[in-house]
Amino acid sequence: MDNLIKTEGKKVSDKKRTSIFLNINVSCIATSMLGTALTTALPPIMEDLNMTVNTAQWLTSGFILFLAVMTPFTAYLISRFRTKRLYCIAIGFFIVGLTICACSNSFWMMMLGRIIQGCGNGLLSSMAQVIILTIFPPERIGTIMGWYGLSIGVAPIISPTIAGILVDSVGWRMIFIIAIAIMSISLICAVFVFEDVLPTMNKHFDVISLFFSALAFGGVTLAVGNMGTYKFVSWEVLFALIVGLVTSVIFAYRQLHIEVPFLDIRVLKNWDFSVSLTATVVIQLIFMGTSIIVPVYIQQIKGESATISGLVTLPGSLVWTVISPFAGKIYDKIGMKLLFIIGSVILIFSNLPIFFISIHHSVWIFSGINVFRSLACGALLMPLVTWAMKDIPKIKASDATALYNSIRFIAGAVASALFISVMTKISNASVGKKESPQMYGINVVFLIMTFLSVILLLIGIFGCKEKFIKKRVIEEEKAVKEMTMKSFSDVEIDIDKEKTLDNISVKEGSENGTVIDIDNEISIDDLSVKDKSDADTIIDNDISLKIESSKDEKDDTIEVINTEKN
């Protein structure tokens, strides 16, 4: 068979698990920082390499584009190759890209370096989440994802401050040199720390699907990026957009009809996953749009230094740092629906005031407002990931993670290109009409972000079907207390429908068993049933199950003979 498992993932000790997690965090911090650090360095890079703002934004958009193109490919790579080797190769790619950027003397040379970085980063980010979800027990996932979220969430927000200081003191190339040093240390540690913790299988590589995914992601992003330079009805925009949309449909159709999907998009049938993904796209548009607009506002419009540009975002970074580790606990206490609503309302009232900021206002007014924007984004992002993945089977974790990250990265690329395009067009149209056309362009950008925040609020109200948390927690706690080894009161068995029941493991002696319904097979994991005789009867208030056991050469089979009311 095409998908036969070659090797099982290696079990690791708590000490080894912690070491792997720390190494993942170091790598992800370095890769995350490069995404926004470069936005602070864009003005001096534009000057040194003689680029326009529309050209320079491709150093960010192009990086995110290849990040997104690479990410669907990771679902195949992660399940096909050994973890340790693949992880080290990904770091190696990133180091090569950093080295090229550090030595760049033209736009195209730097673009090449950023593309290679995007490939390495796409693989690293997907592997990180799949590894964490695999090596840690379910009861620790929320906390661990909170700390992981702190790393990848705060790093890109603090990095503009660090980048600004480096640019003003030693030049923009030092950003890449420091990243090379960090990633080299991470690579050396990975050689000694990492284990092959993920299972591998003989999976077919679908070149056609990879080709269509690249055209789909690339076409849409290129079309949006070209809107800043060309009219919407131009060949450069419409052709790229049509190619992107058509190939997206072809790619989706192919994944639904081939035996082994390149990327299993059926995970989108999970309602919570789809709603979470939609909300994440909206937040990514707001966050990444801000990351490239703010340096333009502070350095080019206000004439401040790169250091000031970084310091303006620092208070928001600190707030994000504080809220991220507690975001998971907040989600556990108040639930996703209430968190959605609170976060969205904060975003609305922190984006709208920036529409009214003029060129005469101090940059520190923006800094204060940005604190609340960071608070909302920091409280929402990682809980959304946890909520999205909570009902996804582990066997589909790599597909779900790859799809989630791909669309998130595409949203980031579109945000950078879209908001620069909007700012440029509004600025050009306002020449002679506004005191500062560029400032007015930025005002309009934040007005659009306000409307996006309203959309996020509507998603939370109508898309999140979760009950309010207090009622849900009471019901769950009651269910846990009532669930005992001899009571199945919370387990519903329907002999007319095929159903999978998780979190129960059936054992007879020391052998694993399978519960088979009369009409349909029902998989039941994680419930211990000891076989003391040829037939046991498990009774609760509502259901009586008579279970008989029989053995063959390979495993035990437990057959449900009858169900009846007491």
Q: Which two tokens stand for residue 387?
A: 């909520």
Give 406-424 pLDDT, tens digit per residue: 788 778 777 877 888 888 8
3-state SS, one letter per residue, for 229-281: CCCCCCHHHHHHHHHHHHHHHHHHHHHHHCCCCCCCHHHHHCHHHHHHHHHHH
3-state SS, one letter per residue, for 150-181: HHHHHHHHHHHHHHHHHHHHCCCHHHHHHHHH
Distance of CA 333 to the CA centre of its chain: 23
Contact 167, 40 (CB under 8 A): yes
Distant-in-sequence, close-in-space partners of 363: CB < 8 Å, separation ≥ 6: 297, 298, 302, 304, 308, 312
Output the CA torsion sign for 178, 183, 184, 189. Answer: positive
Contact 400, 391 (CB under 8 A): no
Low-confidence ranges of the chain (pLDDT < 70): 1-9, 35-36, 68, 139, 142, 153-154, 157, 225, 228-229, 467-566
E-strand stretches of 484-543: 507-508, 511-516, 535-539
Contact 278, 405 (CB under 8 A): no
* 546 DSSP β-pair partners: 537, 562
Quick one: pLDDT at residue 454? 97
Task: Give the H/E segment covering residue 562.
Answer: strand 556-564
The phi and psi torsions of 97 (rounded to 5 degrees) equal: -60, -40
The phi and psi torsions of 316 (rounded to 5 degrees) equal: -65, -35
* 392 DSSP β-pair partners: none
Q: Which domains does the chain have, with CATH numbers?
A: 5-206+258-471 (1.20.1250.20), 507-564 (no CATH)
Q: 461: which DSSP letter? A: I
Residue 109: count of CB within 10 angstroms of its CB: 14
Q: 356: which DSSP letter? A: G
Contact 348, 437 (CB under 8 A): no
Distant-in-sequence, close-in-space partners of 562: CB < 8 Å, separation ≥ 6: 545, 546
CA proximity to 322, closest of 453, 163, 456, 153:
153
Distances (CA, A) of 509 to 431, 471, 526, 551: 81, 39, 14, 12
Quick one: pLDDT at residue 154? 67
Quick one: pLDDT at residue 550? 40
Contact 41, 176 (CB under 8 A): no
How do strand 200-201 and strand 507-508 relate by DSSP bridges?
unpaired
Contact 214, 66 (CB under 8 A): no
Q: Is the pTM of this model over 0.75?
A: no
Quick one: pLDDT at residue 291? 77
What is the side-by-side strand order in the sheet with 544-551? Answer: 507-508, 511-516, 556-564, 544-551, 535-539
Quick one: pLDDT at residue 325? 75
Q: Which two tokens stand for residue 221?
A: 């992003």
Distant-in-sequence, close-in-space partners of 153: CB < 8 Å, separation ≥ 6: 32, 320, 324, 377, 378, 381, 382
